[in-house]
Structure 1
Amino acid sequence: MAEAARRLTTLAEQVLGAPLPVRVRAWDGSESGPPGTPVLHVRRRRALRRLLWKPGELGLARAWVAGDLDVEGDLYQALELLAGHLWERDEGSGPRSGPAALLSALRDPALRAAGRELLRLAGPLPPPAPPREEARTGGGPLHTVRRDKQAISHHYDVGNTFYEHVLGPSMVYSCAYWPGPDATLQEAQRAKLDLVCRKLALRPGQRLLDVGCGWGSMALHAAREYGVRVVGITLSEEQAAYARKRVAEAGLTDRVEIRVQDYREVHDGPFDALSSIGMAEHVGSARYAEYAAELHALLEPGGRLLNHQIARRPLRDEADYRVDEFIDRYVFPDGELAPVGRTVAQLEQAGFEVRDVESLREHYALTLRAWVANLEAHWDEAVRLTSPGRARVWRLYMAASALAFERNRIGVNQVLAVRTPPSGGSGLPLRTRDWR
């Protein structure tokens, strides 16, 4: 296995048909590739076995989470350099784009020798079992109440202290609204919560339902600053316990109720306003029409919905959409993204009148970079609170997501919709963006 890095680099360049953009360090200490670039460190041979056993993002994810594969140097730069080979596939890019396509290229007769060499380097198959951080939500239909609760628990019930280190004092786990590049994360998250409240035109005495309330930040802000009564619902037991404690400490138990409850189980409407911030990504395409209809039924005529949701770019053929395997197995099990146009259409089909759509794409990139910086600053504690694999999952997914927003691969939008009454009066000002 002498000079394994040189052999790996040669194999990769044969398959890619282009120079490898990063340096490689192999398990034997050898290095190869362009100097002065981030180093892709293949710490153990079993990283290759994982990739050969599960070609594509899942094999790469397992190698990363297990620590068999690492990046030394600037992670953002490494992901930028590797983006075209790992996950970004443009129209007409050909079969050598993406890890699964790279491995399928080894079936080409001209590359069979490279394939045999890769097998020799990898060692005996199969690889070890998947890392324990991989989600196991069981079988059955997607997006039942039971399965959704399992999926939410996988992502959110990893310890509130861990999230305190990542999110900071605001404990808001969605895109912030940056008044300027010099603002702090805390200031930007407060600005986002206030923007939502202003778009909803909240007034004292109104009832607000916060769907997917997280650790209670929106509920607290709306009750404290706008005098409304709030019901916050989440499927995470840990989030609910944390939110209730914050509500009690703020002296707002008379105005804020936190429930462990699915949106399909809320039967004490109508509400004057609804907020759904970073929750709808968990709903799934098969259930989205039901989600929109349920929220419409829970809203008072004339009431407003603020739906804050990540969106993907539309595909030429929507049947080609596949959920990212790394995200599905390690981050948000069963999560799905939809183009913003489909979201708007489904809200309108449920009876809403969509009045405003605002993109916050660049704001989410800034938010994610701030979260990554927080995680890296508290790395040892984050590992102690969860596991090395879990901390690695969060660092990779947040850094990769920041780049995806910056490169316009995904976006995030606030959709303001109204349950317009029969009279037709929306209650919105003529100059909507003033949000008075």
Structure 2
Amino acid sequence: MGNQATVAAAFEPLLRATLGPRPAVGFEFWDGSTIRPETGNHGIMRVRSETALRHLIWAPGELGLARAYVCGTVDLDGDIFTMLRALQSTAPNDARLGPGAAWQALGAARRLGALGRRPPCPPEEARPRRGSLHTKGRDAAAISHHYDVGNDFYRLVLGPSMTYSCARFVPDEDGSLEAAQRAKHDLVCRKLGLAEQPGLRLLDVGCGWGSMAMHAAGTYGARVVGVTISTEQVELARRRVAEAGLSDLVEIRFADYRDLRGEQFDAISSIGMFEHVGSRRAAEYFDTLRALLGPRGRLLNHAISSPGGSVMRRRSFIGRYVFPDGELLDVGEVVLAMERAGFEVRDVESLREHYERTLRNWVANLENAWEQAVSLAGAGRARIWRLYMAASALGFEDGGLGIHQVLGVVPDATGNAEMPATRRGWG
């Protein structure tokens, strides 16, 4: 390693312990010293101050590294997808310091003047929440943390469609993200039978900025109620509905889905909302939606899944910065929960490859307008979105994450569901 007085030499024990013995990316430190990768060069991680080391000492592994990146003491120079894949391929499964490495790391920190109190966490980090998990108040706080960060920022990332969920890229379409989002909305409408009978009453749970509701109303004449507990989404969704001339067909409410008891709908779409429900509330969620549907009513649940399920824990970057209290269920659990609530599950479709492509589009949108994104939401927020979207794309690429549309129907008293016999019958 050369001169032992360099930052690189002192930093190496912690680096090897947390990111693996053979990191595939290079490192450059604030004194100009470097650590070269063993093989290849998939990018450079620039460590700009000893504060980055303090973050790693106080939170070894993923969370400490994320804090250093969010606050700007670490930069990623290179293609972020390539860098994250390289780091993932070499890092140990449990990136925590063993006793020997921890002692070496403390020695390095002492030599570099990095010991001391824990550095302040970046302000974008979600703070500990009060109240039981997935109560209305706690859910509202978690939703606000993620979605109330500025409509202009989301417009920059998502593009004109303002749709924050997996698109569906159709080979004979133009390949744009906007066309793919329209194709996704249209697929949902057809699965729900909106094309078969104009004027059906649709509930869109977690309606976002109103794009699905507007498509259903504008294309199929559906009468739509969209609900969200994001104040910024409600404000913009109502304005978009009015500007589209659809106010007579679309109502956007600031409401929790649990407050809708007693109403009746012909169909329900839930697109990208179920991740906030959690396994302990899944039965209540499907029971509530089942009670809102009459005989032959349909539910389309579009949600990210994870083999075996996955909780976004507080020690993880995603749980701390992106989706506090979020949880991914195995698609098998979703199907079982829907059946227990009284739905007949008629179709399950995976869109995994489509979500990888969607996320890559969003990352490109963000990176292509980086300075504007920083001016809208701050550097920390822009860094969070870049990191989480790129990492998520890789999760969908390798199958660690899935995305499924599960279609259920409420049979009538005779067991009749009046569903098309094949997918071609969706129109």
Range class of TM-score, shorter chain: over 0.9
* Range that drifts further, 416-425 or 186-195: 416-425
Secondary structure of the residue aligned to 1:71 is strand
In structure 2, the residue matched to 1:177 is 168
CA contact (8 A) 1:137 1:333 kept: no
- Normalised by the length of structure 2, the TM-score is 0.93
* Paired letter, 1:304: R
Q: RMSD value over aligned CA atoms?
A: 2.1
5 Å-filtered alignment, 1:357-372, equals: 357-372=348-363
Give the AA of the match of 1:301: P
Aligned residue number for residue 90 of structure 1: none
Residue of structure 2 equivalent to 1:198: 190
Q: Specify which of 319, 322, 327 is matched with residue 336 of structure 1.
A: 327
1:150 aligns with 2:153: no
Contact 2:272–2:302 (CA under 8 A) maintained in structure 1: yes
1:76-225 correspondence runs (5 A): 76-86=81-91, 96-100=92-96, 103=97, 105=98, 107-108=99-100, 112-113=103-104, 115-121=106-112, 123-136=114-127, 138-180=129-171, 183-202=175-194, 203-225=197-219
Deviations 1:101-133 (A, max 9, x none): xx1x2x04x874455335544612223211110
Aligned to 2:243: 249
Aligned to 1:424: 415
Q: Which residue number corresponds to residue 45 of structure 2? A: 40
TM-superposed deviation, 1:57:
2.4
Cα pair 1:205 1:228 within 8 Å, conserved: yes
C-alpha contact 1:85 1:98 (8 A) present in aligned 2: no
Deviation, 1:75, is 0.9
Matched residues, number:
419
Return 5+ residue gaps in structure 1 as ranges: 87-95
Question: How far apart, in 1, do the equivalents of 2:163 and 2:410 lie?
Answer: 27
The alpha-carbon distance between structure 1 residues 266 and 153, as it changes in their structure 2 partners (threshold 3 A), is same
Task: Report the alpha carbon displacement of residue 19 of structure 1 after superposing the two structures with TM.
Answer: 1.8
Contact 2:270 2:301 in 1 (8 A): yes
SS of residue paired to 1:391:
helix
The CA distance in 2 between the partners of 1:27 and 1:212, in whole Å, is 45
Q: Are the aligned partners of 2:17 and 2:95 in contact in 1 as well (CA < 8 Å)?
A: no
* Aligned partner letter, 2:397: E
Cα displacement (A) at 1:51: 1.4
Describe the SS at the equivalent of 2:328: coil
Tell me by how many angstroms 1:327 deviates.
1.1
Q: Which amino acid aligns with 1:341?
A: G
AA in 2 matched with 1:66: C
Distance 1:240 1:406 in 2: 33
Taking the aligned partners of 2:184 and 2:408, their CA distance within structure 1 comes to 18
Q: Secondary structure in 1 aligned to 2:418?
A: coil
For the pair 1:61 / 2:66, whether they are aligned, the reply is yes
Q: How does 1:242-321 map to 2 (within 5 A)?
A: 242-314=236-308
Partner SS, residue 99 of structure 1? coil
Q: Which amino acid aligns with 1:21?
A: A
| Structure 1 residues 15 and 377, CA gap change in structure 2 (3 angstroms) | closer
Deviation per CA, 1:10-33, whole angstroms, max 9, x where unpaired?
A: 653467663221111112121121
Q: Given the superposition, is the C-alpha separation of residues 273 and 376 from structure 1 closer, same or farther in structure 2, using an over 3 Å criterion?
A: same
Q: Distance in 2 between matches of 1:398 and 1:379?
A: 14
Where do 5+ consecutive residues of structure 2 fail to align? none
Show CA shifts across 1:57-87 (max 9, x none): 222221111111121111111101011355x
Runs of 4+ that moved beyond 6 A: 14-17
Pair 1:382-2:373 in alignment:
yes
Q: Please say if residues 271 and 298 of structure 1, whose CA atoms lie closer than 8 Å, have aligned partners that are also in contact.
A: yes
The separation in 2 between residues aligned to 1:168 and 1:70, in whole angstroms, is 26
